[in-house]
Chains A and B, each alone.
Chain A
């Protein structure tokens, strides 16, 4: 695992929720490879979503959580930043533009389709109308939703179907050209057809961006990801190439989980 291929690196990372006695994550060490898809699997409460939410520090919207260790983000220019050092609002904003997030349920903002995608761009200071239009169109195309939306860009995003809304949310995140996209069970609220479309999209996205996806769906993890991390009770139980984890795991626990003996 050569360093130059990493986009993020989690080192001895522990996390304790505000008011909790025991840490929810214990000394996690996990590399995130650039332009690959890393899946995080494990039973409910194992800490996979907690870890994901630490990677863009969305936890910090709520006060009192404790971080230990390091999460390094490698920039395009090769420099690295420990994101746990971030204290100023401006730096949080920069981090979240570089490390985007897609949630379990689609979260279109109460505004038009165009404005949803343009939102992050406008926040980042792009005002020029034609530049906005170009980037919105590119993002919609990138999220495979341009054909369905190009005639109704001015309509409210709330009128779209669930699957379309989720792809819109992906377009919205892609528009910012992030280094990393974090997906928190992005298809668990969707029907199988929409799920297929989203999976296809995520697979294409890795050309441009590194992906970390939390999923409860074993097939999804095995179909989609290049690397898989199996988490259990706040520990990283096993991490390896996805084929290795699913075909020949070293830990008994991992095997039991992926074969459905518990979970």
Chain B
């Protein structure tokens, strides 16, 4: 009896812990960001200056550059990753024979499990010089970060999309073939609409992941506080700025960083909520 009650309490505690953590993290970000929020208000979002005074006590801090850097690198990644991931998923579910689909599926799942710092190192030492020699620029910059981000989210997106395409009932596909549809038409008219929810969900989850990626982007984006004029220019992103500046920041700068973190938190939270509950939670009849 005693053991049952203990276990019940323990599992209740574990389950509620995650909820309190979520609320707690939000509360802390919100509290520490107060100083900066009072000082800069919503103009913070549109101000491109990030400068501490000489005595380190104050300064002007605006999130415009890291916000733009985050958005642009994410957009580049999504534009590259989405069609490729769809192609992989379609190939795996509809085109490849079992003998090919199996090993490719496993490879994709393993790719998704590689720690991001490894992608960062590979990107910096191997891939950045390739970008530099083909499109110009310094090697590190928006484009390199965006492409490596794309490579990181492709496996993840492809795997979810594949799973959701696999839920298309066989008989539905057969009836489309029985109407005289080609393979391409079955994919376009039956499989894609049927798994639409899962496909959009996977895109949004990948988007959330790309927005918050720190390590790989820190290696590759250049970490320069300037607005990129060109796709190969270096800039910075929210997670990269936070990771680079936390050690020496104080007072208002610290608070401004919490403000940035809060923005990222809220945006990611909404993105993942929409993806999980609206698109992936809903089962298509």
Which residues in A have some Cβ–Cβ distance to B below 8 Å?
Answer: 56, 58, 61, 63, 89, 92-94, 96-97, 100-101, 103-105, 107, 109-111, 119-120, 123-124, 158, 169, 172-173, 176
Residue of A nearest to B285 (CB): A158
- Which B residues lie within 8 Å of A61 (CB)? 173-174, 177
| Chain A residue nearest to B97 in the complex (CB) | A63
**Chain A residues positioned under 8 Å from B182 (CB to CB):** 89, 93
Pair B180/A107 contact, Cβ less than 8 Å: no
Query: Knowing A97-B180, A110-B194 touch, does A119 contact B189 (C-beta < 8 A)?
Result: yes
Could you pull out 11 A-B pairs where Cβ atoms are within 8 angstroms?
Answer: A58-B177, A96-B177, A100-B178, A107-B169, A109-B172, A109-B175, A109-B176, A109-B193, A110-B193, A111-B189, A173-B179
What is the interface size of chain B, counting residues whose CB is below 8 A from a CB of the partner? 23
The complex places the Cα of A176 from the Cα of B176 at a distance, in Å, of: 13
**Which A residues touch B177, using CB under 8 A?**
58, 61, 96
- B residues within 8 A CB of A94? 180
Q: Which residues of A contact B172 (CB under 8 A)?
A: 107, 109
A119 to B186, CA, bound (A): 11
Complex CA gap A101/B183 in Å reads: 17
- A99: nearest chain-B partner, CB-CB: B178
Tell me whether chain B's interface is mostly helix, strand or loop, or mixed: helix
Check: B185 CB closer than 8 A to any chain A CB: yes
Distance of A249 from chain B, by nearest CB (Å) = 32
B75 at the interface (CB under 8 A from A): no
Checking A92, A105, A111 against B193 with a beta-carbon cut-off of 8 angstroms, the contacting residue is A111
A-facing residues in B184-205 (Cβ within 8 Å): 185, 189-190, 193-194, 196
What is the bound-complex CA distance between A253 and B24, given in angstroms?
75
Check if A172 sits within 8 Å of B179, measured CB to CB: yes
Question: Which residues of chain A come closer than 8 Å to B180, judged between CB atoms?
Answer: 92-94, 96-97, 120, 123-124, 176
Q: CB-CB < 8 A to A104: which residues of B?
A: 171
